[in-house]
Chain A
């Protein structure tokens, strides 16, 4: 990928790229979670999912805001509303349709466990004070998302026959999208050199331990880590699900670019 290397000449370019990757994961995830609003299985769970969605969108908003500052854009809306699917750098895991409640919980759990380890390592490593401050703030909320989704995996997996099957199906279906979390491409390698990202393989075993122990406690079988893994999203090669999501998310802002909340 010589083209990306020539594009990212400065440390600031690399920082912007890291910010957008982190933010895109969280914005798309937040949007998918927000689709549950009014459709949660229980009133209390409806509120919980909306809360996590707001947390995710909030994390994305502050990361985009910092990127906008560095790139001289007006505000974070530029990244959320005025980029096309090829420009989005989120992993495919985040854009998959919300599915049933078990699928949403499986995604939340796998991503929250990953974020939990990633953010701890990033906080130890990242020297950029502004980014580090954001990460520390976000980690508190990630711990709660992890607790919430883990408790649900245990209850659904070790619940009724139907909830067990749905939870197992969800993990089986989603598994091939977990590989992208641990990919390290040229851009992340560059970021690691600048202490703006970490070698995620350092905590891959910790992540697997936590996932395995939770699934086992939930009487679920752990899918095969060595199966085919989806790849390409970080470079804009998304599944067919991202386009329709963006169409819905961006429509209003693009149709009425000067609209304001009154």
Chain B
């Protein structure tokens, strides 16, 4: 049952846990759990992260299936937005008439 990899690691594989706080809301990352397979990962996620009414739905994803950006990507990925304030909706002032309707 335990996955013994070649490196002699006897720990269960790691799963990332996401939960949906409410209907229609995006899933949020909660943390991770160890589990031998997907069904047990779901149960462990429920016991670890969803015992206090945190959400209505859970996803578990094998951690090694996630492709992440690297620290070196930080510049090319995120910097371009810094000096282009017009990319942000806050850059544009809202006309008074529209504000009033709120």
Residues in A lying within 8 Å of B, measured CB to CB: 42-45, 47-48, 51, 144, 147-148, 151, 155-156, 159-160, 163
Contacts and interface: CB of A to CB of B under 8 A. Distances in A.
A219 B47 CA distance: 28
Contacts of B33: 44
B39 interface: yes
B58 to A, nearest CB: 13
B34 A51 contact: no
B36 A147 contact: no
A47 B1 contact: no
Contacts of B57: none
Which interface residue of B1, B12, B34, B46 has the most chain A CB atoms within 10 A?
Answer: B1
A36 to B, nearest CB: 13
Of the four ranges (under 10, 10 to 19, 20 to 34, 35 or more), the interface on chain B belongs to: 10 to 19
Interface of B: 1-2, 12, 33-37, 39-40, 43-44, 46-48, 51
18 contacts: A42-B12, A42-B34, A43-B34, A44-B34, A44-B35, A45-B44, A47-B47, A47-B48, A48-B47, A51-B51, A148-B43, A151-B39, A155-B1, A155-B36, A155-B37, A156-B1, A159-B1, A160-B1
Contacts of B40: 151, 155
Contacts, number: 33
A44 B1 contact: no
A47 B48 CA distance: 7
Nearest to A54: B51
Contacts of A47: 44, 47-48
Nearest to A164: B1
Nearest to A45: B44
B56 to A, nearest CB: 14
Given A155-B1, A159-B1, A163-B1, A44 B48 contact: yes
Nearest to A158: B1
A123 B51 CA distance: 25
Given A151-B39, A155-B36, A48 B44 contact: yes
B47 A44 contact: yes
Given A44-B44, A47-B48, A151-B43, 15 more contacts: A42-B34, A44-B33, A44-B34, A44-B47, A47-B44, A48-B43, A48-B44, A48-B47, A51-B47, A51-B51, A148-B43, A151-B40, A155-B36, A155-B40, A163-B1
A159 B3 CA distance: 11
Nearest to A49: B47
A159 to B, nearest CB: 4
A142 to B, nearest CB: 15
A146 B6 CA distance: 35
B50 to A, nearest CB: 11
Contact of A147 (B12, B34, B43): B43
A45 B41 CA distance: 11
Contacts of A156: 1
